Each structure stands twice: as structure tokens, then as C-alpha cells.
Amino acid sequence: MLRNVLLFAVLPLSLAACTTLTAEEQAAVHAERAAETQTAEEGGLRCRTIRQTGSRVGNRVCRTDEDWDQMERDAQEAHDRLDRGNARGSSPDQGFGG
């Protein structure tokens, strides 16, 4: 019983320690992003930080405004297709748009 209590007390602390960035790591990430931003601005790119679920540090993605607009249109079209399929009463057994 005591072993289980200790396990549940120590496990969250050890997991938190694995995901925490040190001040040096944070400074390195900021310096890297600043350099990427300067390079991207010179090339006519716009950068965004894309965070993945479960990650504390996002990935920096740089694209042109036209590329970002196209990605947004593609995402909206995919959402609309799924939404139309759900409105028709498709079930998971029939597949999307079914």
C-alpha cells in the first residue's frame, strides 16, 4: 500500500521534470527562433509556431502568405466536406460522405 502511494506521488514529479526546460534551453530556443524570423522576413515568409498536443515547445513553420491562405482554404474545404457528409446522416460504417 505504501509502495503504491509513493509511486503515485513520485511519478507526476518525475514526468514534470522531463518536460521542463532549463533557462539555458529556453534561451537557445529563443535565439534560434529570432534567427529564423530574421531569415524568413528577408525571404518574404511569415512564420507561425505550430504546437502539437502534449508538447510544450512548438515547431516553427515559415511559409509565404499565399501558402498560408491556401492551407486555410484547404482546411476549410475539408471541414465543409466532412460537415456535409455528417448532415446527410452518414454513419461510421458507411464512411465519409456516404
What are the pLDDT digits (tens) for 32-58?
Answer: 777 776 766 777 888 888 888 888 888
Please tell me the distance from the alpha carbon of residue 10 to that of residue 92, in angstroms, as a whole number: 42
Burial class of residue 13 in the structure, from the number of CB atoms within 10 Å of its CB (0-12 exposed, 13-18 middle, 19+ buried): exposed
CA dist., res. 62 & res. 5, Å (int): 47
Give per-residue pLDDT as tens, 6-34.
445 555 655 555 557 788 888 888 887 77
Domain spans of the chain, in order of start: 22-63, 64-98
